[in-house]
Amino acid sequence: MTNQKTAVVTGGVRGIGYAIANQLAADGYAVCVLYISPRADVGAIVDGLSVHGQPAMAERCDISDPTDRANALRKILDAWGRVDVLVNNAGIAPRVRADLLETTEESFDEVLNVNLKGSFFFTQAVAKIMIKQTEQNPDADMTPKIINISSVSAYAASINRGEYCISKAGIGMMTALFADRLAEYGIGVYEIRPGIIATDMTEPVRDKYDRLIAQGLTPIKRWGQPQDVADAVSVICGGKLNFSTGEVINVDGGFHLRRL
């Protein structure tokens, strides 16, 4: 096993995922980003991460596919022999925003298979690796972390994308369950809930949220940036929250506040 700390970021080639991967590389981690987009410029992504002087790799992985998940983990372990941080960032929105009464089973299954089911079983597999490596190296400085990137949609209803909201609410319980189960092994589990973040996913509704933010939707009157989420991940991985687990960290400009 190498002494190099390593991190795996699902959905790590653009937006929030890439910002997280880049920050972890800057923080001294070898980083593997998992992706599915056929348009991803993998060479440029790896080169961009490598400028920080740490090893980097990118592997195609459909997080909803058990074979893909197993193959990706095998390649990571063959290369580096350990996983210190898992960031579950991979997620999709419905292909078509439809009223709740018109949501199809096909859309529901597709979104939950990636956002929730895939993340759950990938976490399960990585958790077993983390347990094994900490038990085999009890004297090593290991404080593994699992960080789930959720959304304010975990609690804020959007009736034209119900399947997405349900998937993110499920991530909240997934975080609590794994936090409880893994605490005895010194593995911390956290949930980050981004708010309105400037990414490809939110670009189609930019005008709407420009207007709502200006009108006071969030106390901090600006769009969030992917780096805002990456900074929260960096704090967790920096060991500043080692006596906490199962925590929800809101990166939302204060959207979660109830105000009169």
Catalytic residues, which ones?
Answer: 164
What are the tens digits of pLDDT across the range 186-232? 999 999 999 999 998 888 889 999 999 999 999 999 999 999 999 99
Strands 56-60 and 30-35: parallel
- Say which residues have a Cβ less than 8 Å from residue 43's Cβ, sequence separation at least 6: none
Radius of gyration of the chain (CA): 18
- Give me 17's structure tokens: 């995922």
User: For residue 167, which phi and psi values (nearest 5 degrees)?
Assistant: -65, -40
Note the pTM of the prediction, 2 decimals.
0.96
Q: Domains plus CATH for the chain?
A: 6-249 (3.40.50.720)
What are the tens digits of pLDDT across the range 3-60? 899 999 999 999 999 999 999 999 999 999 999 988 889 999 999 999 999 999 999 9
